[in-house]
Structure 1
C-alpha cells in the first residue's frame, strides 16, 4: 500500500509540474502595425536582435525588444528579405527571396548596406540561411535541374559561391522560405535541410562526408502547400514541423521527433501542435517552441506532447545565440516575446 501511494503521488506530482510549466509560458506583443511581413529573425543575445521582412524592411533592437529601430533599405523597397543572420549589433547579412535574388551585408549597424550577391535569373529562389561559425555559412535555394541550390561563404558573408556538392531534389520537391529555418547547421557542423511539396524529407550532410543522407519524413506532404517547413536540433534529438499552410488548422502529421542513434528514425508525437507550424526552436533542455499562422505551441517533454499557448499568428520564433531571450515575428510587422 505504501509503494502504491508513493507511485501515485509521484505520477500526480509529475502531472502537476508538467501543467504548471505549460501555464507559465506566455507571449507578449512588443510591436505591430508595420507594412511588412517578417520572416527573418536573428537573436544575438539578451539585448540585440534583428528582423527582416518584405518591402525592404529591417529592424533592430538593442534593449531586448522594448524599442526597435526600423528602416526601409533604399533601392531595395521591392525586396522580400526572408532571412537574416546577425553577428552582433553592427554586423548582419540578409537575403531576399524572389527575383532578383540579393544578399546584402552591413558592418555599421544598418546605416549602410553592401550588395554581396545578385542573381536576376528567375530560376533562383533563396529560402534560408545559417552559419556553421563566424566565417562559414550557407544559403539554401529551391532546386534547379534536380539539385537544390546551395550557396556557401567562407569569409563571413563577403563573397558567395555555389557549393560543389549540392543535394539531389526529387520531382516536385522544394524548400519553404517561411521562417529561414528549413536549413540548419548543427554545433558539430552537420547541415540539415527540411523539404516539402510532393515529398517531405530530411536531407543531411555530416562534416567531411562526401554524400548526402536522405530520409522520408512522416509529415503531411503531396501538395505544393504541404511538407516540412522548419527544424531545430536540441541537446539529444531534433524536432521537425510543418503541415499544410493552405489548411492551417489541420493537425495531422504536423510534427515529428528526429533521432540519429544509431540510424535516423522518426517518432510521431502523442499530441501534436494545434495546426500548421512554420518554425520551431529549441529553448532549453527538453523544451521546444513552435509557431505558425494558427498560433504557438510548446513542448516540455522533447516533442512527445504539445500544448497551444497562444492563438496569435506568427511566422518565425528564435532564441538568443548567447542568452535566454526568445522572440517571435510575423505579418503586419508583428513582434512578440516569450515569457518563461
Structure 2
C-alpha cells in the first residue's frame, strides 16, 4: 500500500512539473523609466497600465503595441492604481502626496482631476469597481481606521465612506499591485493587510466589518498579505516579505468557505508574491519580484515557472488575455 501511495505521489508531482513547465511569459515592453503597479485588462485587445513618474500606457491590439504618455502636470505622480472600462475611459489614482484621482473619456488625450488631497496622511493603495459606476479606493489608515473613498458615478465624484474598518496599531495595506482591495461579490468589499497582522477584512451585508486573521508572515512593516483573488466560495491570498523576496515562508493561503477559515498552501510560491489572479476554474497565476508561480488546484500547491520580476498580473475582464507588468516599464504576456 505504501509503495502504491509513493508511486501515485510521484506521478502527481511529475504531472505538476510537466504542466508548470508548459507555462510561458513573453516580454512585450521594457526599458521605460517607470515602475508599473497599475494594470487593467478590459478585453483581449484593450488594456491600460499606470506607474511612477506620471506614466500611463494604452494598448488596443492585445499588448503588441503601446501608446505611452506622461500625464501633463503630473510627471511626479506615482499612479499605482488604474481601473479601465474601454479604450476611451479609465480612472487612475496616485499614491503619495498629493493624493489625486484623474479620469479620461477620450483615450488619454485629456485627463480631468476628480479628487485631490494635499494631506500627507492620505496614501492610496488600490482601486476597484463593482461596475462602470460604483467603485472604491482604499487608503492607509488615518486615526486608526482605513481610509475608503466611494464613487457612484463612474469616478466623477468621490466621498469618504462613513463606515470605515478599524486598523490595529502597525497594520496597513500594500500599494504593490492594486489587488489588496477586491470586490468579493454582491458589492462586498474585501481588504487584505500586513504589517503588524495579516488579515482579510470584509464588509458584511449587515454593514459590519469582519476581521479574519490569515496564516501569512506578518509582524514587520514589509510583511503580510499583498493580494487576494476569488472564485465562488474560494479565496486565495498571497504575500510574504518584500525586503526578503526569496524567502518563501508563508507566502500563500486559501479558503474554501468564503473566507471563514484559512489554510496555508501545502506547496508555497517560491518567494514574495505581490499579486494573484484566477485564470480559470482552478488555475491561478501569482507574481512578484521573486518570479511567477502557477497553481492548478485552487491554490493548494504552487510551482515556480519564471524568474523574472513583476509587480502585477491581471486577466481580461472579458476575454482570455493575461498581462504582467513591473519595474523599468516591463510589460509581458502570459500563455499556458
TM normalised by structure 2 equals 0.96
Alignment partner of 1:149 out of 147, 154, 161: 147
Aligned counterpart, 1:212? 209
Matches within 5 A, 1:249-288: 249-260=246-257, 264-288=260-284
CA-CA distance at 1:235 after TM superposition: 3.5
Asked if 1:298 corresponds to 2:302, the answer is no
Runs of 4+ residues over 4 Å off in structure 1: 4-17
Distance 1:12 1:214 in 2: 39
Shift in CA distance, 200/10, structure 1 to aligned 2, threshold 3 Å: closer
How many residues align? The count is: 336
Alpha-carbon deviation of 1:285? 1.0
* 2:239 pairs with 1:234: no
Q: Structure 1: how far apart are the matches of 2:190 and 2:247?
A: 26
> Counterparts in 2 of 1:84-95, with a 5 A limit?
84-95=82-93
Whole-Å Cα distance in 2 between the matches of residues 123 and 6 of structure 1?
A: 60
Partner Cα separation in structure 1 for residue 155 and residue 84 of structure 2? 11
Q: Unmatched 5+ residue regions in structure 2?
A: none
- Equivalence map 1:24-173=2 (5 Å): 24-173=22-171
Distance 1:41 1:55 in 2: 16
- 1:318 maps to 314
Task: State the SS of the aligned residue for 1:76.
Answer: coil
Distance 1:161 1:247 in 2: 37
> Residue by residue, what CA displacement relative to the aligned partner does 1:172-224 show, whole Å, maximum 9, x if unpaired?
00110000000000233221000010111110013x42211001111100111
Aligned CA distance change for structure 1 residues 12 and 170 (closer, same or farther; 3 Å): closer
Cα offset, 1:132, TM superposition: 1.0
Matches of 2:253 and 2:266, distance apart in 1:
10
Give structure 1 stretches of 5+ with no counterpart.
none
**Conserved 8 A contact 2:217-2:249:** yes
- Per the alignment, residue 188 of structure 2 pairs with 190
Other-structure match for 1:331: 327
CA distance in 2, matches of 1:5, 1:176: 46
Question: Partners in 2 of 1:147 and 1:7 — Cα distance?
Answer: 51
Query: What do you get for the CA RMSD once the two structures are aligned?
Result: 1.9
Contact in 1 for aligned 2:170/2:196 (Cα 8 Å): yes
Task: Tell me how far apart the structure 1 counterparts of residues 219 and 10 of structure 2 sit (CA, whole Å).
Answer: 42
- Are the counterparts in 2 of residues 292 and 314 from structure 1 also a CA contact under 8 Å? yes
